[in-house]
Structure 1
Amino acid sequence: MQVLPGSLLQVTGDVELGEGLYRRNGCIYASRVGTVATVDDKLLQVTSRRTNHSLLPSIGQTIIGTVTRLTTRYVGIDISVLETTPPVYLEEPFKGTLRGQDIWPPEDKEAPTQMNLAMRPGDLVRARIIGVGDASAGFLLSTAIDETLGVVFSKCASTGEPLVPISWNEMVCSKTGIKEHRKPAKPSNK
């Protein structure tokens, strides 16, 4: 079964979780892109698969990418997956830019304006392509369109453990309970 970060797995029985999976509130979720595999009848893990594919990202498509840089006005993202059926794993990432005004819904008057309160380098983000910028910007992205868009996987700055969403603008360390600001995506049931 192909999974994306935040995908809920329907698992029966007692299993051990390997790479690419985590447990939250008794449910098992994927923390990375790949295929769910069973090892030794009890250990579940997500194995990554990269394919050589000639598809280009297009406007309206949902992507998965990694935050690579932050400025006061935008977030730079390396696009690595096109969320199609089945997902397309890009051999080389495409550049994407998430502008400050495209992170939070416009009606959200309490949204923070600082980029580091929405995302941080290394975060895995689900976003939608809304346009094409110049060569330095690449594809223009948005997480404000839908509540399932935003940070789908992040690690705690102090422990390196996975963060779990607890509100529209916070995530908590799965080990220590330390809260960090993010723009989390609502977990998907894919």
Structure 2
Amino acid sequence: MSGPNIALPGQILGASSSNELGSGTHLHNDQLCASISGPILTSKPSNSSKTSKAPKLSISRTTGNLLPEVGTTILGKITRTNPRQANISILALGPTGEHVCRDPFPAIIRQQDIRATEIDKVKVAESFRVGDVVRAVVISLGDERSYYLSTAKNELGVVMAVSEWGNQMVPVSWREFMDESTGAREARKVAKPV
């Protein structure tokens, strides 16, 4: 993956036994998690520290006054869905979220903008769920309330999902994520890794 590795709030960064707690992170069930959005910084353990040999993980809060433009790739979190569209909060700009937004921008992914083919068969509920982290592209500045986004390319769609049981999921195909703990599969519009 090119560019910095970006974390979003609540994202699991690793086991607390193999990583040291840094700024912008917290512990949850023996896992080191991101508290804020931003690039993940890894610092090597200091030689003077005799207690820890683990690297320290921190999240850097980088902010800017950048605004999404038509053609900008974004990372955002699904906040609400209905049969016609998914509402999303834009959290970062760039394919890997290089530029974290100071405040989230409201946006909409309409049913017809989810996939490039078989548009009439697309179901919003089978593409996105509330809490999914999505990579999308701005296709219109929209109205005064929301930007319009599209996930109609292979590299666009859900990049991070949590199962109904609260477990982190992994993509297993272009349209399914799997909960590794339970083996349950859930339908999503999966983004091809960049």
Tell whether the structures are fold-level matches, with TM greater than 0.5. Answer: yes
Q: 1:78 touches 1:93 (CA, 8 Å); kept in 2? A: yes
Task: Find runs of 4+ consecutive structure 1 residues off by over 3 angstroms.
Answer: 15-21, 38-45
**Higher RCO (CA < 8 A, seq sep 6+):** 1
Partner deviation per Cα, 1:56-84 (whole Å, 9 max, x = no partner): 11110100000001011111010010017
1:143 aligns with 2:148: no
Corresponding residue pairs, total:
163
Once the 2 structures are TM-superposed, how far is the Cα of residue 50 of structure 1 from its aligned partner?
Answer: 2.5
Q: 1:101 aligns with which of 112, 118, 140?
A: 112
Please tell me the residue identity of whatever aligns with 2:6. L
1:52 aligns with 2:63: yes
Question: What does residue range 124-143 of structure 1 map to in structure 2 within 5 Å?
Answer: 124-136=133-145, 138-143=146-151
Q: 1:16 touches 1:44 (CA, 8 Å); kept in 2? A: no
- Output the aligned Cα RMSD: 2.7
**Structure 2: tracts of 5 or more residues without a match:** 8-16, 20-30, 46-51
SS in 2 for 1:19: strand
Distance in structure 2 (CA, Å) of the matches to 1:100 and 1:20: 32
Distance in structure 2 (CA, Å) of the matches to 1:61 and 1:80: 13
Distance in structure 2 (CA, Å) of the matches to 1:170 and 1:84: 21
> TM-score, normalising length from structure 1?
0.75
Percent identical: 33
**Structure 1: tracts of 5 or more residues without a match:** 6-14, 22-31
Look up the match of 2:186.
Answer: 180
> TM-score, normalising length from structure 2?
0.73
Distance in structure 2 (CA, Å) of the matches to 1:101 and 1:20: 35
Look up the match of 1:3.
Answer: 5
Q: 2:88 aligns with which of 74, 77, 91?
A: 77
